[in-house]
A = this chain, B = another copy of it.
Amino acid sequence: MSLVKVQNFSISLDGFGTGEPQSFESPFGHAGHQLHQWMFATRYFQGLRGEPGGTGGVDDAFARQFPVGIGAEIMGANKFGPPGWQDDADWRGWWGEDPPFHTPTFVLTHRSRPPMEMDGGTTFHFLQASPAEALEVAREAAGGLDVRIGGGVTVLRDFLAAGLVDLMHLVVVPVLLGRGVRLWDGLEGIESDYDIELAASPNGVTHLTFTRSTA
């Protein structure tokens, strides 16, 4: 059965998934790289960069799940580019010509543009759709594999509020951002749909998994 998954999604102790303001120079605003340092430090990510070493425990085990069984990704406009990218016909995402998705990737935006075929199997599709509609399209494209909700924060919150997420892996990083975009707003009580597990990593982050009781 094709599941809807969230993977390696990092938030601050006070619940922000990104800082502010977002710009070309600072995709995560004042948060900088603080939320993702744990991930860059893993053997998995070091390996992707051709570097030796890295952390090899629970952080690495989670990081390595990123591509496994994923057939499509859905992301929001704010993940694809800085404010205003829709006005830049040459913008092709933050990731260069070989983005790390390697699947059809659906970008939710109010302005349509033609699909963008990148190297390595990633094709960006641009669509205006509700979470449920986007999921239907992505599922079709995933060919029986799982669909990743890649964020940003607002998109993840919308999918959670719509009850569409089956498995969610969050990473709580012990920093207090104070401002930015908060994941948890308006999600009162959703924990009752999930089994929740926590694992503290010796590197200082906490892994939180939400598993839908019926998944």
Contact = CB atoms under 8 A, between A and B. Distances in A.
Interface of A: 13-15, 174-179, 184, 186-191, 196-200, 204-206, 208
A196 B189 contact: no
A176 B200 contact: no
A200 B186 CA distance: 26
A14 B187 contact: yes
A191 B15 CA distance: 14
B176 A184 contact: yes
Contact of A186 (B13, B178, B199): B178
The binding surface of chain A is classed by DSSP as: loop
Top 7 closest pairs, chain A to chain B, by CB = A178-B188, A14-B184, A198-B200, A174-B196, A200-B200, A176-B187, A198-B206
A214 B5 CA distance: 42
A35 B187 CA distance: 17
Contacts of A198: 174, 200, 204-206
Contact of A176 (B14, B191, B197, B206): B191
Given A196-B204, A200-B199, A204-B198, A13 B191 contact: yes
Contacts of A197: 204
Contacts of A200: 198-200, 206
A176 B210 CA distance: 12
A131 to B, nearest CB: 19
B184 A13 contact: yes
A103 B205 CA distance: 36
Contacts of A189: 175-176, 178
Nearest to A200: B198
